[in-house]
Amino acid sequence: MSDALLLHPDIDFIQSVMASGGEDLKKCMQCGTCSAVCALAPEDAAFPRKQMFEAQWGLKDRLVADPAIWLCHNCGDCTSYCPRGARPGDVFTALRRQAIEHFAYPRFMGRIVANPKALIALFLAAALVFWTVALWAPKSGPTPGLEFANVFPIPVLEALFFSLSGLVLVAFGAGLARFAKALKTSGAGVNLPAGLGAVLVEIGTHARFSKCGKNENQRLGHLLAFWGFLGLAFMGTAVGIGTMAGLVRTPLALGNPWKIFANFSAVVALAGCLILLLGRIRDPEKRAASAYFDWFFLLTLTGVVMTGIFSELLRLTQATRVMYGIYFVHLVLIFVLFLSAPYSKFAHLLYRTVAMGVMKTAKAQK
């Protein structure tokens, strides 16, 4: 029996999965209902039943390197049909969180984001940064009326955010590299370019989401949020580069097509976030009983877009200086969102893309 696999349950892993949303993990009796009922599970590599077994037995290395946990869109069919109340959907949420934390670079950031207390520190740090900017940053001569630039000089912000983005990209890169390495050792062929095109289309259209039996409007919410933020990200970067190159001067006039596009994206993103939030709150079965990890990401996201819209409206009315306060919060939230991106649920954007790529290549190889 040399080819047999030596199992030694990782007790800590089991307990942390159970502590981070998968507390019903052990109720699973391996009947296979979940895999059979899942609209997303492929026939030849069905999930989540097998992963439930691996999780029950604490096989961490296999799970974090298993693309399957990213293919799950947490539509909750498995959980509502599970005869034992083992809630595989929730277990998978917990497993994704474990994976993100596992691949996090630098590791301590993973732990901080994973830990509510440490997170407060993160917010304080961000607040401190912008407080400093507001107080000491050199202002270019006073402009008429109320302008954010009066308090938060544009060049400073530019510098700040571009460097931050840089760091974030590096962290993401390292994390993904670890993920890819794990995938290789686990035997999954990673050949992104091969599948990428198809994957991007799938993501763009949320085709997999639409297969979900339950949770219909979750798809809509996710789709809107996804595209809204893509729009905003694009605009942010474009305008940023533009201003630095001195091609654009902010704030843009309302009629400006770029501005219209930006505002439109913001509204779309907000709609998406609200739908998702409502879905989570309303859900009678609490099907996607979201862990703290989930809530944190969704709330920051919503916070960012709301404060953004708010501050813009206040600026347009030119009524009160409160707008500086709102804008301050807006900046803090964006900062935290960026900084935590590789370690928060935000990361699923990339991990899932890679995982889907892996599956596509796997299919291609067949």
Partner 1 sequence: MDKKLGVYICSGCTIGESVDTEKLAKVAKREGKPAACQVHPFLCGQEGVEMIRADLSTGAVDSVVIAACSPRMKTEAFALDPQMILERVNLREHVVWCHPPGDEATQMLAEDYLRMGVVKALKSEKLEPLSDPVSKKMLVVGGGIAGITAALEAAAAGYEVALVEKQAQLGGFIATVQKRFPGQAPYTDLVEGGIAGKIQEVLYHPQIQVFTSARIAKMEGQPGMFDVTVQTNGASSSLRVGAVIMATGWKPYDAKKLRHLGYGQSPDVISNVELERLAAKGPVLRPSNGQPVKSVLFVQCAGSRDKDHLPYCSSVCCMASLKHAAYIRKQNPNARVYIVYKDMRTPGQYEKFYRTIQDHPLNFLTKGEVASVEKAPNGELAVTILGTPLGEDIIVHADLVVLATGMVPNSADGEALRALENAEQKVNKGESESQKAEAARRVEELQYHKGTEILNLSYRQGPDLPVLRYGFPDSHFVCFPYETRRTGIYAAGAVRTPMDSTHAQEDALGATMKAIQCVELASRGLAVHPRAGDLSVPSFFLQRCTQCKRCTEECPFGALDEDEKGTPKPHPYRCRRCGICLGACPERIVSFKNYSVDIIASMIKAIEVPEEDEEKPRVLVFMCENDAYPALDIAGRRRLRYDPSVRVVPLRCLGSMNIVWIADALSRGIDGVMLIGCKYGDDYQCHFVRGSELANRRLENVKETLERLQLESERLHLTQLAINEFEKLPALIDGFVGRLREIGPNPYKGI
Partner 2 sequence: MIENAKPILVIGGGIAGLTTAIEAAEAGCSVILIEKSPFLGGRVIRSYQYFPKLCPPSCGLEINFKRIKNNSRITALTLAELEKLIGTPGDFEATVKVHPRHVKESCTLCDACAKACPIDRPDEFNYGLSRTKAAYLPHGMAYPALYVIDRSACKEGCKACADACTYGAVDLNQQVERKTFQVAAVVAATGWAPYDAAKIDNLGFGKHSNVVTNVLLERLAAPDGPTGGKILRPSDGMEPPSVAFVQCAGSRDENHLPYCSAVCCAASLKQATYIRALYPNAKITIFYIDIRTAGRLEDFYVRVTADEKIELVKGKVSKVEEEPGTGDLFVTAEDVLSAKKTARKFSLVVLATGIVPQTKGLPAGFDLDEFRFISNGSGKAGLYGAGCVRRPEEVSATVQDATGAALKALQCVARSARHG
Q: Establish if 286 lies at the interface with partner 2 (CB under 8 A).
A: no
Q: Counting contacts by CB under 8 A, is residue 285 touching partner 2? A: no
Q: How far apart are CA 100 and CA 60, in angstroms?
A: 12
Pick the binder of partner 1 from 37, 81, 84, 277 (CB under 8 A): 84
Distance CA 20, CA 23 (A): 7
For partner 1, the closer of residues 37 and 198 by Cβ is 37
b/e string for 289-304 if b means 16 or more Cβ within 10 A?
bbbebbebbbebbbbb
* Residue placing its CB nearer to partner 2 in the complex, 46 or 174: 46
Q: Looking at 18, 37, 174, 277, which residue binds partner 2 (CB under 8 A)?
A: 37
- On whether the CB atoms of residues 149 and 140 are closer than 8 A, the answer is yes
Are 47 and 35 within 8 A, CB to CB? yes
44 binds, among partner 2, partner 1, none (CB under 5 to 8 A by kind): partner 2
Cα first-last separation, the chain: 29
The least distance separating partner 2 from the CB of residue 40, rounded to whole angstroms, comes to: 11
Q: What is the DSSP letter of 20?
A: T
- Smallest distance, partner 1 to C-beta of residue 30, A: 5
Q: If contact means CB under 5 to 8 A according to the sort of partner, which of partner 2, partner 1, none does residue 281 touch? A: none
Q: Which residue stretch of 28-36, 134-142, 146-154, 167-175 sits at the interface with partner 2 (rule: CB under 8 A)?
A: 28-36
Cβ proximity to partner 2: between 45 and 154 the closer is: 45
Nearest Cα residue to 295 out of 272, 277, 275, 274: 277
The yes or no reply on residue 36 touching partner 2 (CB under 8 A) is yes
31 interacts with partner 2 by CB under 8 A: yes
CA distance 7 to 55: 12
CA–CA distance, 157 with 152 (Å, rounded to integer): 7
Q: Which stretch binds partner 2 (CB under 8 A): 32-40, 248-256, 263-271, 358-366?
A: 32-40
Question: Is 57 an interacting residue with respect to partner 1 (CB under 8 A)?
Answer: yes
Binding partner 1 (rule: CB under 8 A), the pick from 34, 38, 41, 56 is 56
Member of 10, 26, 202, 251 binding partner 1 (CB under 8 A): 26
| Residues present in the chain in total | 366
Structure tokens at 68: 């399957």
Determine, following the binding rule CB under 8 A, whether residue 9 of this chain makes contact with partner 1. Answer: yes
Q: What is the DSSP letter of 41?
A: S
Rounded CA separation 297/319 (Å): 32
Would you count residue 11 as binding partner 1 (CB under 8 A)?
Answer: yes
Grouping H, G, I as helix, E, B as strand and the rest as coil, residue 32 is coil
Q: How many residues interact with partner 2 (rule CB under 8 A)?
A: 22
| Element at 96 (helix H, strand E) | helix 88-103
Of 8-16, 252-260, 290-298, 345-353: span binding partner 1 (CB under 8 A): 8-16
Contacted entry of partner 1, partner 2, none for residue 115, CB cut-off 5 to 8 Å set by kind? none
| Chain positions contacting partner 2, by CB under 8 A | 29-37, 41-46, 49-50, 80-81, 83-85
